[in-house]
Amino acid sequence: MTKQIIIGHILTISRPFDVIKQLAKRIFPEYSTGRMLVSILAARPLAFPMTLLQSLYSTWRLTGRFLPFRCVVFPDISLKITKAKSAHANLAGRIIVRPCLGSGVARLVLSDKSKFSLLGDFEIGQGVTISLSGGAALVVGGRHASSGSGITADTLVMIEKQMHIGKDVIVAWGCTITDSDWHEIVGAERAIPTRIGDQVWVAHGVSILKGADIPRGCVVAARSVVGARSFPECSLIAGTPAVVKREGVIWKR
């Protein structure tokens, strides 16, 4: 009898959060900050205050303002931001920091006179580091027509000069994306802009190196190494070095 009473109390306490969640779906649009925050409140009420503080603080660190939200940091993960005074962040979308394969830390480094432009919502998970060197420029398209865009976990994105990551791009775990050799090689250009087009799927363990140009709709197979060459749209790219394995590929998230 006592156990039944305790269970009844637990169910009674949990129902208000279910009601709040249902109301949020009616009030707030899908993918909105309000919907996200209410879902966190309903699922993790004790963690919600820290989530709110981290989101506000990260937004302020990047934009100099607390509102509107430009970072949403979920429980069990934190976002470490290093931003030089002369660095510029133009955030039309939000950085959504959400754990995918466990808890941990994501990092964003904006060095002197670097420029980071975010055009739509972009998710990053634990172990993801995005680092812009002095004077570097990064443009990220973010979510547009898909249900999401981002980098799963444990991935290093390093920009010395210039990189473009298109809309609706998804990157799995354990990848490296860069535009530079990061050391001088006699007779070779140290840094060449790297471009990833819209709706590209990068599987786990992929290395995308300087000068790579991956066009719209491509799939990059696991553990491939993509160098400075171009490929047809909507192709399956695989190998070391990566080559076209198949054309006319259509994929959905």
Give the Cα separation of 59 and 36 in Å (integer).
15
In which domain, by residue range, is 17 found? 1-63
138 in a domain, yes or no?
Answer: yes
**Are residues 57 and 80 located together in one domain of the fold?**
no
Domain count, the chain: 2
**Are residues 147 and 32 located together in one domain of the fold?**
no
Q: HSE of 22 in the Cβ direction (CA atoms, 13 Å)?
A: 6
Q: Is the peptide bond before 241 cis (omega within 30 degrees of 0)?
A: yes
Write down the pLDDT at residue 15. 54
DSSP state, residue 113: T
pLDDT in tens, the chain (253 residues): 455 555 554 445 445 556 565 666 667 888 899 999 999 998 899 999 999 999 999 999 999 999 999 999 999 999 999 999 999 999 999 999 999 888 999 999 999 999 999 999 999 999 999 999 999 999 999 999 999 999 999 999 999 999 999 999 999 999 999 999 999 999 999 999 999 999 999 999 999 999 999 999 999 999 999 999 889 999 999 999 999 999 999 998 8
Residue with tokens 């590929």: 249
Q: How many residues does the chain have?
A: 253
Measured CA to CA in angstroms, residue 252 lies from 129, 169, 170, 199 at distances of 26, 11, 11, 9
Write down the pLDDT at residue 21. 59
Write down the pLDDT at residue 5. 52
